[in-house]
Amino acid sequence: MITSRDRILTTHVGSLPRNETITELLIKREAGEAIDPKKMADEMDRAVADVVKKQKDAGIDIGNDGEQQRVAFQTYMAARMSGYGGESKRRVGKDFVEHPDLVATFGRRFVHRAKMSNAPQAIADVKYTDLGPIKDEIARFKKLASGAFAEQFMTAPSPGIVATTLMNAHYDSHEAYVNALATEIGKEYRAIHVAGLILQVDAPDLAMERVMMFQDESDEGFVKIAEMHLAAINKATEGIPRDRWRLHVCWGNWEGPHVYDIALSKVLPVFYQTTAGALSIEFANPRHQHEYAAFKRHPFPKDMILIPGVIESTSNFVEHPEVVAGRIEQAVAAVGDRERVIASTDCGFGTFAGREWVAASIVWPKLKAMRDGADLASQRLWGKKVA
């Protein structure tokens, strides 16, 4: 995993805007409708090539395929694993329970989107049955991104976030389900690693699920659950060197109050239990901009890279480069080492097909502002103009 040796590098969390054609095809495929394979392949080629070019033009150093080939960041697993059927009944988050008018607004805004709270559920032993789709994704991305980035990454969901969205209707306990998923999802992790890509494990469950599935737990009770989820991630990534994978954590990628989010200081020690070489944490949204203070209580490990969110992923504001630079400098101060900070976004810009908070045309100026802000910060941190 490369570091910011000569300047602050830039990356992002994973999903990027999908065009209308690929969005429609992915949603139809998820619904079980017949899709012409050639049309799907051609449209995926077009979509991946487009986001690769736009990332490169925006100055992204560590890029990916924008998750153009998936209907969502985690629910796609139901199509790659046996044992799923029926429909999950995911709990409504505390934000939404208290603000039904907010839910109504979302309903009007996102009329046609991928499954979220109604994804399939586990009704038998889950088994990862076919590595073909992930190998196809990897091959397409590597072909179309050759030479575009200093380093390439690919995302995959954590066992915990799959378990809390593809609900359990089979296993004796939540823990048994999570561990079964760790064994099976690990097959996809290793496929990404063997292909030479950096693996990013998306684990919003380590913070977000405090207000979702585990909203009735105490903070202390949730921390114990998060530790179990984190141990499952470590189990699933066994054999992958720590410098070849990174862990992403967030409080949920939606535009809402977030007043019940668990404090970073309470879960940060859990994050440190990861065997990953880098931690991606959101810091740009208004509810969590203050969270760097947690590093005073729990110092950041000296052998780990911090990938802070310096661009907000649910707002159509384009951050000023000076704002970005200031956020990066704050992260560097918290870590104590400029080389171990890589600028990123808070979360993805297309976590579910058809549910994009930020207009597609605005995503790219936001990423460009991140590059410009990283250059400003680099000039100040290195004391010289960045080429």
Mean pLDDT by 10 residues, the chain (387 residues): 96 97 94 94 98 98 97 94 94 84 78 77 96 97 97 98 97 98 98 98 98 96 98 98 98 91 98 98 96 97 97 97 98 97 97 88 98 98 81
Tokens describing residue 192: 């990404």
Instruction: Name the pTM for this structure.
Output: 0.96
The torsion angles phi and psi of 261, rounded to 5 degrees, stand at -55, 140
Residue 318: C-alpha distances to residues 21, 230, 277, 292, 370 (Å)? 26, 34, 30, 22, 9
Look-up: residue for tokens 């890279």?
Answer: 305
The torsion angles phi and psi of 123, rounded to 5 degrees, stand at -120, 0
* β-bridge mates for residue 279, sequence order: 247, 306
Closest CA to 16 of 64, 76, 75: 64
Q: What is the pLDDT of residue 173?
A: 98
Contacts of 108 (CB under 8 A, 6+ apart): none
* β-bridge mates for residue 122, sequence order: 84, 168
> What is the rounded CA–CA span in Å between residue 136 and residue 151?
19
Domain ranges of the chain: 9-382
The torsion angles phi and psi of 169, rounded to 5 degrees, stand at -125, 25
Q: What is the pLDDT of residue 255?
A: 87
Q: What is the pLDDT of residue 387?
A: 63
Give the 3-state DSSP-derived string for the chain, with helices as H, strands as E and coil as C.
CCCCCCCCEECCCCCCCCCHHHHHHHHHHHCCCCCCHHHHHHHHHHHHHHHHHHHHHHCCCEECCCCCCCCECCCCHHHHEEEEECCCCCCCCHHHHHCHHHHHHHHHHCCCCCCCCCCCEEEEEEEECCCHHHHHHHHHHHHHCCCCCCEEEEEEECHHHHHHHCCECCCCCHHHHHHHHHHHHHHHHHHHHHCCCEEEEECHHHCHHHCCCCCCCCHHHHHHHHHHHHHHHHHHCCCCCHHHEEEEECCCCCCCCCCCCCCHHHHHHHHCCCCCCEEEECCCCCCCCCHHHHHHHCCCCCCCEEEEEEECCCCCCCCCHHHHHHHHHHHHHHHCCHHHEEEEECCCCCCECCECCCCHHHHHHHHHHHHHHHHHHHHHHHCCCCC
Class of the CATH-defined domain 9-382: alpha beta
> What is the rounded CA–CA span in Å between residue 370 and residue 324?
6
Q: What is the pLDDT of residue 384?
A: 74
Helix crossing, 321-335 with 360-382: angle to 10°? Answer: 50
- Amino acid letter for position 276: A
Q: What is the pLDDT of residue 212?
A: 94
Q: What is the pLDDT of residue 235?
A: 98
Residue 250: C-alpha distances to residues 13, 120, 183, 307, 375 (Å)? 10, 23, 23, 12, 25
Length of the chain: 387
CA-only gyration radius of the chain, Å: 19
Contacts of 246 (CB under 8 A, 6+ apart): 1, 153, 198, 199, 200, 201, 276, 277, 278, 279, 280, 305, 307
Per the rule left: phi > 0, alpha: psi between -120 and 50, beta: everything else, 270 is alpha
Q: What is the pLDDT of residue 376?
A: 98
